[in-house]
Amino acid sequence: MTPLRKVINKKDSSIKPIWLMRQAGRYLPEFRKIRKQNPNFVKLCLNTNKVKEITLQPIRRYDLDAAIIFSDILMVPFGLGQTVEFKKNFGPYLGSISLRDIKNYDFKLFRKNLEPVYKSINNVKKDKILINKDLIGFVGGPWTILVYMLNKSSPKKKLEKVFSDKMLIKDMLEYINKYLISHIDGQIKSGVNIIQIFDSWAGLVNEKNLNEYIYKPTKKLVKFSKSLKTPCICFPRNIKNYKEYTKIIKPDVISIDYNINPYEIIKNIKIPVQGGMDPRVLLSSKRNLEKSANYYLNAFKNHPYIFNLGHGVLPQTDPSMVEYLIKLVRKFNERPS
């Protein structure tokens, strides 16, 4: 059984496995070399040979316990025929799409559009370097995907008035969810053995809308993943009430952001926990890194815990700091019980 599975399935608190969100990507010189030669990000996510190479780059470089397939949550809007571009110094830019477009889209065409993602997963899974390591697949949370599809860009840039149309949101979430379930199905059948749901913009939802916008649609994704005997990690970034979220949605693991106190989480949550450390700590000193890593490791010393960050590795991170972090976690695991 893999280290992550021991924590997830057996609730083992004696080991602290580690993987990092955005561990494959922009901070690694070997990735930047590939990216320079492949300026179209969406096309890169559909390049099966390059996806395998990028996914395994951090596994070849570091002693990590899992790989996460190199892809993007916006591959689902792309699969639905929406234009998706990534512009330098701006971020994602999406074309227009209507509820009618989504309702009438062909499921078979959706799967065909994303077939290179599934082929990449299958190729990665066969590599011997993943022996005793997990391969993680992922989707965006239904609400987060809706935000991008309607806002056509990151809500950090703007937030259109369209979000006041509650009937539109409800209908869109229903249809988006069907395609997210299809994408989860495709990934699991291709070889991933853990699914993570990234709800990056969960924190935008006020309390009165949480049930309709976050809880109900996300619960369906978790239930579907579990029905295929695949554990599900949920990362509802900046959600206000982790206790209520886990009680209603019932993920196998809850991944926390860096604004939450880990000691408060332990008081209220019994399931395995992942993440928490601020990725900006990796931009500081080794002394600060050691202090922060040990803070989380000690907080979850007697709780099933997967070490990760409270968000993705930042582009300006020195790869040697990631290596040092992994050594700190391994050193903690070697301590006398």
Domains of the chain with bracketed CATH: 3-333 (3.20.20.210)
For 176-235, the pLDDT digits (tens) are 999 999 999 999 999 999 999 999 999 999 899 999 999 999 999 999 999 999 999 999
* Dihedrals phi, psi of 91, to nearest 5 degrees: 105, -155
Per DSSP (E only), the strands in 118-231 are: 134-140, 194-199
Residue of 262, 274, 336 lying closest to 20 (CA atoms): 274
Q: Report whether pLDDT(106) > 90.
A: yes
Helix, strand, coil percent values for the chain (each to nearest 5): 55, 15, 35
Q: Report whether pLDDT(100) > 90.
A: yes
Average pLDDT over residues 129-133: 96
- pTM value is 0.96
Asked if 253 contacts 273 with a C-beta cutoff of 8 angstroms, the reply is: yes
Structure confidence at residue 335 (pLDDT): 77
Asked if 174 contacts 201 with a C-beta cutoff of 8 angstroms, the reply is: no
Average pLDDT over residues 114-118: 98
Q: What does pLDDT average to over the chain?
A: 95
Lowest mean pLDDT, pick from 64-73, 161-170, 315-324: 161-170
Structure confidence at residue 162 (pLDDT): 62
Structure confidence at residue 90 (pLDDT): 77
